Structure 1
Amino acid sequence: MFIDPERLETRLSEEFGGTIGQSRVVVRQAVDLADSSQYETDVGTTLTNDLVIDELSDAPDGTPAERWNWWIGSLELAYGDYGRFGIRTYRK
């Protein structure tokens, strides 16, 4: 796996702000995506911290979680079966 969770969490906060919780959930989803090998199979590129940051940089302004969902939505449209890696908000 080429995702360094601690470093990715730090970079997400530095680059995009948001809360620690938002960065952590993005890291969890990125690790799950990397572990699934789905991105590597579909795109032909290994998922890395730098790639995640680059892709989220292309997203419209927003928190790390909003940017992640934008990117996952793009992958869903292009390849399908990425919705499971999206971040859902549950309200009490």
Structure 2
Amino acid sequence: MNLDELDAALRREFTGAEAERRVVVRQAGDLADTEKAETDRGVPLTVDEIVDNLSDAPDEGVASRWNWWMGALEAAYGGYEPFQVRRIPKE
């Protein structure tokens, strides 16, 4: 997955500060590196897949949307809590 493309897509599609997007992109990259989402769901983790899933979340900032999706995956499969956004650095 191209993290620069993910960052651009998140900037284009959702609200949130740059620091918030950077944390989500980093968490997405870490998740992609584990291949856990692909193994659990049978679908590769791509920029389009992330944007589609975040679009289903309540209308909030990108980190809240990401955490909503990670919470859904945690409930369905377990093991996604480490990928949730816990803290956003100040810019």
- Name 1:44's counterpart in structure 2: 42
TM-score of the superposed pair, with normalisation by structure 2: 0.93
CA root-mean-square deviation:
1.3
Q: How does 1:25-64 map to 2 (within 5 A)?
A: 25-64=23-62
Residue 90 of structure 1 and its aligned partner are, at CA, apart by 6.7
Structure 1: 4+ residue segments shifted above 4 A:
none
Percent of residue pairs identical: 51
Higher RCO (Cα < 8 Å, 6 or more apart): 2
- Name 2:71's counterpart in structure 1: 73
SS at match of 1:28: helix
Q: Which runs of 5+ in 2 are unaligned?
A: none
- Pick the aligned partner of 2:17 from 19, 44, 48: 19
| Number of corresponding residues | 89
Kept after mapping to 1: 8 A contact 2:6/2:25: yes
Deviates more, 1:77-86 or 1:8-17: 8-17
TM-score of the superposed pair, with normalisation by structure 1: 0.92
User: Could you report, residue by residue, the CA deviation over 1:12-34 in whole angstroms, capped at 9, with x for unpaired residues?
Assistant: 01110211111111110111111
